[in-house]
A and B are shown apart, each in its own frame.
Chain A
Amino acid sequence: MKTILILGAGTAGTAIAHKLRRRLSSEWDVAVVDPSSTHLYQPGLLFLPFGDETEERIVRERGSTLGKGITWHKDAVKAIDTERRRVELEEGERLSYDFLIIASGTEVRPDMIDGMLGDGWRKSVFDFYTLEGAKALQAALAKFEGGRLVLNIVEMPIKCPVAPLEFAFLADAYLTKRGIRDKTELVYATPLDGAFTKPLASKTLGYLLEDKGIQVETEFMTGEVDSENNVIRSYDEREVPYDLLVTIPPHTGARFLEDTDLGDELAFVPTDRHTLAAKNAERVFCIGDATDLPSSKAGSVAHFQADLMTENILRAIEGKELEPTFDGHSNCFVETGHGKAMLIDFNYDTEPLPGQFPIPGIGPLPLLKECRRNHWAKRLFRLVYWHGLLPARPIPISPTMSLAGKQLSAVAEAGGA
């Protein structure tokens, strides 16, 4: 029996496990390692704090998402030995592999910032990138009666890079609905030089911040959370006071990749940007949030990578050369509040452009533009996720990006490259 071992059964690990199971004969064991008994639909965490999503709808038993034919080792990874092609688990078991796929995603690391886990943690300081954090924030928002609501990205890269901005837009709508928007200052503190960092997005979407009265604090690199005085302090000694802090802590790769040849300084895996092979070991691939690639850490990316990586793993099994097929394609809905959303579609080389998706000139979803259809598509996507994306059934969207239906000239008009 030969083995493909997949570390992590999140979006990427589960999708590639199903794809490979379908394509490989019974002489192959397709096995995943994941210690958690549940699978979380992470996009739901954006809506949960506002009471627009429930835990029941976004959490499922892991067993039900893997199904028959995929072996599940319910344990955590302790160490990887790429020379002996062996993975050691926390409880002592050793698993051999013919090919290894690292799909262990990211960890949200509030412990990396001074004071973040201090007395204010989950009292006035919240994250929403974890289920526990999003639930605690829901309770805190329900009691919030106004003041300074500060949203803070500590550092890039983060999962779903537009989620903090979406959170700010949804918070504006939520506070308006509750009648306390005029009693609330909404602040967005980012380490980058703007909430939008590309000329076209700044030009076409800047109105969103203005219309919603969101203050932006730029180039703010958080060094400390001082929950005694309710301020966050940057490395250059600027202070942003808050009554309620919604923070996106630093992200790293899995702990078992820290200080190994497979992980970089932040425990992300140096990965070939087109073939998705890990750079520092033979017979090892990396998919989804765990890579060091400049593509977005997003579910759509994991899905596109799973399509293309499956073909490359089949090539590797046959001893053929890998094909450089992945282009960084990403496709994301961006909630803008009040029942509207945008859709963005981009890759390594092409920034999000206006146009129509998925059928050029027809749509029905407009790109880089707010509308209600995009919002409903985003809300319905949960069903596509559970029934299509996760079990890797065919979804009629190309894994590589298409320029058809996109207005390329818009970039030059906005003064971009």
Chain B
Amino acid sequence: MSIETVQTDAEGYLTNRDDWSEELAMELAKQFSVELSDEHWTVLNAARAIETESGSSPGLRKISKRSETPIKAIYKLFPDGPAKLIAKIAGIPKPKSCL
């Protein structure tokens, strides 16, 4: 699934979690001007793992602890709204509340 064919919702989150691949993540990251390094992947993999386990997209503190990456550093890796960017690139749902 490439960036041209993959389905996203109105806000740019993957409609189908199964469409995600590492290649797609790299393409998506480029759209947000992020070049994925090992540090980025540690954070993305932590977010994906937590979402798989718990069924909801995690907050930054939990991602930070799991990936052993300080929150400040996560902001450097994913400037301009890391919670949303991580969810979009990792192919997991938007972090949301009940309303």
Contacts and interface: CB of A to CB of B under 8 A. Distances in A.
Nearest to B62: A265
Given A192-B96, A197-B96, A270 B53 contact: yes
Most interface-central of A112, A223, A235, A273 (chain B CB within 10 A): A235
B90 to A, nearest CB: 16
Given A348-B55, A417-B15, A161 B10 contact: no
Interface string B43-76: 0000000100111100111100110000110010
Contacts of A191: 59-60, 83, 95
Interface string A38-76: 000000000000000000000000000000000000000
Contacts of A196: 97, 99
Given A219-B81, A415-B10, A201 B55 contact: no
A417 B84 contact: no
Contact of B61 (A201, A205, A250, A273): A250
Interface of B: 9-10, 15, 50, 53-56, 59-62, 65-66, 71-72, 75, 79, 81, 83-84, 94-99
Interface string A159-199: 00110010000000000000000000000000111001111
A265 B84 contact: no
10 contacts: A155-B61, A196-B97, A201-B99, A219-B81, A270-B54, A330-B98, A346-B98, A352-B98, A417-B9, A417-B15
Nearest to B60: A221
A276 B54 CA distance: 12
A295 to B, nearest CB: 9
A117 to B, nearest CB: 17
Contacts, number: 86
Nearest to B84: A193
A212 B88 CA distance: 32
Interface in A327-360: 330, 332, 334, 344, 346, 348, 351-352
B71 A155 contact: no
B93 to A, nearest CB: 9
B99 A156 contact: no
A265 B65 contact: yes
Given A161-B98, A196-B99, A219 B84 contact: yes
B62 A235 contact: no
Given A155-B61, A236-B75, A198 B54 contact: no
A294 B55 CA distance: 6
Given A201-B99, A250-B61, A270-B54, 8 more contacts: A155-B61, A161-B98, A219-B84, A221-B83, A223-B72, A265-B65, A332-B98, A334-B99
Contacts of B81: 193, 219
Contacts of A165: 99
B99 A344 contact: yes
B95 A293 contact: no
Nearest to A199: B10
A381 B55 CA distance: 30
Given A156-B97, A193-B94, A294 B54 contact: yes
Contacts of A88: none
A266 B62 CA distance: 7
A165 B98 CA distance: 12
Interface string A286-319: 0000001110100000000000000000000000
A264 interface: yes
Nearest to B81: A219
A264 B56 contact: no
A187 B60 CA distance: 22
